[in-house]
Amino acid sequence: MPVKVGIPRALLYYYYYPLWRTFFEELGAEVVLSSPSTKGVLTEGLKYAVDEVCLPVKLTFGHVLDLAGKVDLIFLPRLISVKKAEYICPKFLGLPDMIRRLAGIPPLIDVNIDRYKSNNDICLAVKEVGRLFTHNHFKIWLAYRRSLKVHRRYFRLLELGLMPAEALAVLKDRVKNEPLPEPEKITVALIGHPYNIHDPYVSMNIIGRLRTLGANVITAECLPEKTAGSYASRLPKKLFWTLGQRMMGAALYYLERPDLSGMIHVAAFGCGPDSMTGELIERRARTMGMPFLSLTLDEHTGEAGVITRLEAFLDMVSWKMAGTVGAIKSSS
Amino acid sequence: MRVTFPHMGNLHISLKAMFQTLGVEVVVPPPCSKRTLSLGSKHGPEFACLPLKLNLGNFIEAYELGADTVVMAGGCGPCRFGYYAQIQQAILKDLGCALQFIVLEPPQRQITELLVKIKQLAGSRSWWKIIQALRFGYRKARLVDEIERVALRSRPREKIPGSTDAAYRQALDLIDCASSWEKLTAAQEKAKEIMDKVAVDFSRQVIKVGVVGEIYTLLEPFSNLYLERHLGGLGVEVHRSIYLSGWVNEHLFHGLAKGMGSGKEARSASYPYLRHFVGGHGQETIGNAVRYARSGYDGIIQVFPFTCMPEIVAESILPDVCKDFGVHYLTFIMDENTGEAGMVTRLEAFTDLLARKKEAKEALSS
Ligand code: SF4
Ligand code: SF4
């Protein structure tokens, strides 16, 4: 029987799931994904996480517990750094230690992913994990190459404007004709950590709602990393959070796009990086006169309130667009 | 150029000495107060950590007093501290406070970058003079630490309530006012004398508590609502895990003064609870908690600012440490809404509990 490796549907699952899954499957393991986020999953997490940690980490606790009893191992790497000279967040650094203490969970694959000093250091992690399954170095290497290929394909799909859920579906069904979303009149940039905006439970399906309300949604993931990086480098000092940098760069880039009608910033309550990048983004958006909405999510956020604010925001955006159109007409 | 810097406990004594030796004009911000905090939280990001807000308040208040340049430390993550200066600069610019920032970033490769920045401040001064200034400031930091240590020991044992604090302030003043190496030596002796004069009763039973947590809230009494003083008043001898000279060494000299602090030991003690650094002093918090627990402290108190990421990781793990060693702990999370009265109530209950436990233990062992 193949070894069952559990992957929590949380945090950087939204970036690396195709890569991780391919890697483990190539090594002959069976990959089990935790259930989609629900109130129940979160409630389990809340029982064990301290009040102060942010919602996505609380939810991760829940996802790990969801896998307990279903798998032999849980893949919960310590994501120290996924890019040279950058970090993700102190909570990612301490995640395996916060989780390991939970009773009744299977052993963790808590390998250090640390590219802080050099991007090549990833090989260490690949070897370390691979060795749990095989001693054949060639096989490990091959598995890694294949998983990278899938990863690249996934990111290309994201850059085409697909949301992670859609891109994952495309990868799964091997659909050749990747459908592009129909363009709408209003385009809204949704800026937030991927695990906050792409988890429909956490975000209260904000993407779906915006689309239903008639808006195109673009996120930081729709932009090639390079572009985001070069825009983010306009800041006086390089941001040392990979995700923060990407959100910042995307926000700066989108703010200059003439077809952008509004920007929504989604932060987790008490999130450290968001409190800093959010501040910079908001200041920039306000100076540029871009309609801006800031949403803060925690386990007490009420859905009704969020919907009302979204609707009001979109009304404001379309009102402003109508105003601009009027102004152009009257001046011509 | 009129230089200012953020407050952090008695850091100003050390920094002022360095700048004045270099002949740079200094504007020490008014001590942190309610006004500082309300300025900072009004203009700062809502979820920014407390030190950012208080520092921002310091800068605004120093600007009002005529400062035109801010000197502060930087960082390269993963914690927010490394981006404080840039955020504060953006906010101050929008507020119309024309303050120039000189940020001492940790040299990723060499110490020379730091020295160049310092040279920029020092103007035409010679390197010799610069090094003298740094040494002088550092010596003051160490003396301040020494006075604090003595105060922590005598506070729970003082015969006349408040006498330690009075002596402490006097002693610090002496150190602060000494303007040369020789005068500082004299001041050091005088300060020691003053501290030794506080009447204490060493036969008194005291409870021992180790205080761990985020450095700013440990070092700046305003930000922890005078935790140490309250504990001393309740008959608790406090041992604090981080001192000023350790910070100066780490952030301004980048660890040049060797053999300082217990960072390394603390980090290794944190294994197996927390196996990796998490930014800030999160790993030290766990490591020092282990060390306090091992050396028989009665209790552990963790203090940190609301939303402080490394300390939240530590907070999640601290219960395990305390359970394994059978010590009690208490956590204080500080923000602009934390009330002093509530804190004192919790401290009283905590010390009561520790005292009862201690008595029971002694009754058993005698
Ligand atoms: S980046 Fe923010 S939301 Fe993500 S884990 Fe860190 S604190 Fe939580
Ligand atoms: S250690 Fe805590 S308080 Fe200090 S900058 Fe980091 S998050 Fe803020």
pLDDT bracket for residue A235 (50, 70, 90): very high
The values of phi and psi at residue B69, to 5°, are: -135, 135
Percent of chain A with pLDDT over 90: 87
Percent of chain B with pLDDT over 70: 94
Mean predicted confidence (pLDDT) in A100-108: 93
What DSSP assignment string belongs to A215-266? EEEEEGGGS-HHHHHHHHTTSSS--SBHHHHHHHHHHHHHHT-TT--EEEEE
Quick one: which of B172, B133, B128 has its CA closest to B253?
A: B133
The values of phi and psi at residue A131, to 5°, are: -65, -20
Q: What is the pTM of this model?
A: 0.94
Atom of ligand 1 nearest to the CA of B309: 7
Shortest distance, CA B118 to any CA of chain A (angstroms): 19
In angstroms, what is the span from residue B39 Cα to ligand 1's centroid?
27
In angstroms, what is the span from residue A89 Cα to ligand 2's centroid?
12
pLDDT in tens, A6-38: 999 999 999 999 999 999 999 999 999 999 999
DSSP assigned state of A178: P
In angstroms, what is the span from residue A55 Cα to ligand 1's centroid?
8
The C-alpha atoms of residue B107 and residue B114 are separated, in whole angstroms, by 7
Mean predicted confidence (pLDDT) in A265-286: 95
CATH class of A181-331: alpha beta
pLDDT in tens, B237-259: 999 988 988 888 777 776 665 54
In angstroms, what is the span from residue B207 Cα to ligand 1's centroid?
38
B47 vs A275: CB contact, 8 Å cut-off?
Answer: yes
Q: Both tokens of residue B150?
A: 């003595």
CA distances from B127 to A87, B18, B102 (A): 36, 13, 19
Average pLDDT over chain B, rounded to an integer: 91
> Taking a C-beta distance cutoff of 8 angstroms, is the pair B2, B67 a contact?
yes
pLDDT for B364 beyond 50: yes
One-letter amino acid at A139 equals K
Mean predicted confidence (pLDDT) in B38-51: 95
What pLDDT score does B260 carry? 47
Helix (H) or strand (E) holding A156: helix A137-159
pLDDT bracket for residue B76 (50, 70, 90): confident
Q: Both tokens of residue A254?
A: 């989108």
Report angle CA B7, B4, B86 to the nearest 5 degrees. 80
Q: Both tokens of residue A119?
A: 């991007």
Neighbours of A54 (CB within 10 A): 25
One-letter amino acid at A317 equals V
pLDDT bracket for residue A327 (50, 70, 90): very low
The C-alpha atoms of residue A55 and residue A67 are separated, in whole angstroms, by 19
The C-alpha atoms of residue B160 and residue B182 are separated, in whole angstroms, by 33
Which residues, numbered 56 to 75 in chain B, qualify as contacts with chain A under a Cβ-Cβ cut-off of 8 Å? 74
pLDDT in tens, A143-198: 999 999 999 999 999 999 999 999 999 998 766 655 565 677 899 999 999 999 99
- Verify cis geometry, omega within 30 degrees of 0, for the bond prior to B78: yes
Q: Both tokens of residue A329?
A: 């007409």
How much is the CA Rg of chain B, to the nearest whole Å? 21
> Taking a C-beta distance cutoff of 8 angstroms, is the pair B71, B133 a contact?
no
Mean predicted confidence (pLDDT) in B280-289: 94
- Of the residues B56, B212, B214, B250, which should be mutated to test ligand 2's pocket, given the most ligand atoms within 8 Å of the CB? B214
Ligand 2 neighbourhood includes A272 CB (under 6 angstroms): yes
A274 vs B312: CB contact, 8 Å cut-off?
Answer: no
The C-alpha atoms of residue B216 and residue B224 are separated, in whole angstroms, by 9
Quick one: which of A63, A148, A49 has its CA closest to A108?
A: A63
The C-alpha atoms of residue A298 and residue A205 are separated, in whole angstroms, by 14
pLDDT bracket for residue B363 (50, 70, 90): confident
Residue B79: closest C-alpha in chain A: A90
> Taking a C-beta distance cutoff of 8 angstroms, is the pair B175, B143 a contact?
yes
The values of phi and psi at residue B104, to 5°, are: -85, 90
CATH class of B2-125: alpha beta
Spans of all domains in chain A: 4-167, 181-331
A98 vs B313: CB contact, 8 Å cut-off?
Answer: yes
Which residue of B48, B82, B276 is in closest CB contact with A240? Answer: B82
Query: Which of chain B's residues have a Cβ under 8 Å away from the Cβ of A77?
Result: none
What pLDDT score does B269 carry? 92
pLDDT for B27 beyond 50: yes
CA distances from B324 to B271, B293, B301 (A): 13, 9, 16
Quick one: which of B343, B276, B286 has its CA closest to B311?
A: B286
pLDDT bracket for residue A332 (50, 70, 90): very low
Mean predicted confidence (pLDDT) in A220-228: 95
Write the residue with the smallest CA distance to atom 5 of ligand 2: B81
Of the residues A50, A52, A242, the best mutation for testing chain B's interface (the one with the most B CB atoms within 10 Å of its CB) is: A52
Which residues, numbered 209 to 248 in chain A, qualify as contacts with chain B under a Cβ-Cβ cut-off of 8 Å? 235-237, 239-241
pLDDT in tens, B109-168: 556 666 677 777 777 778 888 889 989 999 999 999 999 999 999 999 999 999 999 999
B206-365: which CATH number, 3.10.20.30, 3.40.50.11900, 3.60.140.10, 3.30.70.1450?
Answer: 3.40.50.11900
What pLDDT score does A176 carry? 60
pLDDT bracket for residue A324 (50, 70, 90): low
What pLDDT score does B315 carry? 97
The C-alpha atoms of residue B327 and residue B344 are separated, in whole angstroms, by 20
Helical axes A55-67 vs A90-100, angle rounded to 10°: 40
Mean predicted confidence (pLDDT) in B201-228: 95
Atom of ligand 1 nearest to the CA of A88: 1
Can you point out the beta strands (E) in chain A? 4-7, 30-33, 73-75, 78-81, 108-109, 112-114, 186-192, 215-219, 262-268, 292-297
ipTM over 0.90: yes
pLDDT for A329 beyond 60: no
Residue A73, classed as helix, strand or coil, is strand
Ranges A257-266, A283-292, B67-76: which has the least confidence: B67-76
First and final C-alpha spacing in chain A: 74
Q: Does A275 touch chain B (CB under 8 A)?
A: yes
First and final C-alpha spacing in chain B: 66
Residues of chain B with CATH 3.40.50.11900: 206-365
The C-alpha atoms of residue B225 and residue B217 are separated, in whole angstroms, by 9
Average pLDDT over chain A, rounded to an integer: 92
